[in-house]
Structure 1
Amino acid sequence: MKKVLVVCTGNTCRSPMAEGWLNKKLAGTRWVAESAGLATVNGALAAPEAVEAMQEVGVDLSGHASQMFSRRGMAEAEVILAMTEAHRREILRRFPEAEKKTFLVHGFGPGGARDVEDPIGLPVEAYRKTRDELIRALGDFVLDLAERGELR
């Protein structure tokens, strides 16, 4: 299996939402998604608002437990997707060798690379907005994989 690792700050909102959606879309392919945080503690649950927003699109985050971004996670990943340019820079500061496989989530479609804002502490409506943004951006990523013949 090939792994895509999605990275944010706390691994309780954006990256688990992206991981769940990617695993739904990549089911039956040779790809699997995982997620991690740059500043988290291992074992934290997904934000309840993230769980609710993703349940609405058929993705269950209730069993999610956060994990810290690590050398092992970096090495095992074929692709690393960062939520923000600051995350991408921090990943490369820690692991310069990851440069060729580290991208912004928004790096694959029209509109150019841009950050995915953190909804933490906001109402569930903000999580729905983030979810919808991630679905669009990750759709561009999956399309890129398909166009390169990576989903066979």
Structure 2
Amino acid sequence: MKVLFVCTGNTCRSPMAEALLTHKLPEIKAQSAGVFAGMDQSASPHVITALKEKGIELQHHSQPITEELVQWADIVLGMTSQHKQSLVMQYPQYEEKYFTLKEYVSSDDKEIDGDIPDPFGGSLEVYQETLQELEYLITLLIEKINK
């Protein structure tokens, strides 16, 4: 399976999700991109620190969302409903691939609503909280992939 994570600038949430998934499930193919991302920006220093505390080294350079990336992916997981909506507006022909991360990992007995807040500009503690939330969601994602 090929998973594309999408956030705003591709320097915080989506690179964290990509790093967590590939760390926990190395055989999966994952990438990340941003709906308003520039090219080749490093991940936020707090992202690198928070991941390093979990034993994950991150070498990341941002990239904007492209049709090629969307075509490549089996599923495209946005961090917010706005990211999903932006994808629908840009590339409506692939709408069946688009979910928010929380929407995708929800199940009949465990519905998870809401967006994953952007930690950009926050303290290291804010980034650690985002990472903790993403760890939980990535664990649910792996359970779903392995079914």
Scaled by the length of structure 1, the TM-score of the pair is 0.91
Q: CA RMSD in A?
A: 1.0
Specify which of 86, 94, 97 is matched with residue 93 of structure 2.
97
Structure 1 unaligned blocks of 5 or more = 148-152
State the 4+ residue runs in structure 1 displaced beyond 3 angstroms. none
Q: Alpha-carbon deviation of 1:100?
A: 1.2
For 2:2 and 2:56, locate their aligned partners in 1 and report how far apart those are by CA, in whole Å. Answer: 19
1:47 and 2:48 are equivalent in the alignment: no
**What corresponds to 1:150 in structure 2?**
none
1:37 and 2:34 are equivalent in the alignment: yes
Q: Alpha-carbon deviation of 1:50?
A: 0.5
Query: Matches of residues 127-142 of structure 1 in structure 2 within 5 Å?
Result: 127-142=127-142
Q: Alpha-carbon deviation of 1:58?
A: 1.5
Query: Structure 1, residues 80-129: CA drift from partner, whole Å, max 9, x if none?
Result: 01000000000011111221111111121324231000000000000000
Conserved 8 A contact 1:26-1:32:
no
Q: Alpha-carbon deviation of 1:23?
A: 0.5
Give the AA of the match of 1:60. Answer: E
Scaled by the length of structure 2, the TM-score of the pair is 0.93
Give the AA of the match of 1:75. Answer: Q
Structure 2 unaligned blocks of 5 or more = none
Give the AA of the match of 1:5. Answer: L
For 1:26 and 1:79, locate their aligned partners in 2 and report how far apart those are by CA, in whole Å. Answer: 16
Give the AA of the match of 1:55. Answer: K
Identity %: 35
Query: Matches of residues 1-152 of structure 1 in structure 2 within 5 Å?
Result: 2-27=1-26, 29=27, 31-61=28-58, 63-107=59-103, 108-109=105-106, 110-147=110-147
For 1:111 and 1:127, locate their aligned partners in 2 and report how far apart those are by CA, in whole Å. Answer: 24
Q: Give the 3-state SS of the residue equivalent to 2:102 in structure 1.
A: coil
For 2:81 and 2:141, locate their aligned partners in 1 and report how far apart those are by CA, in whole Å. Answer: 17
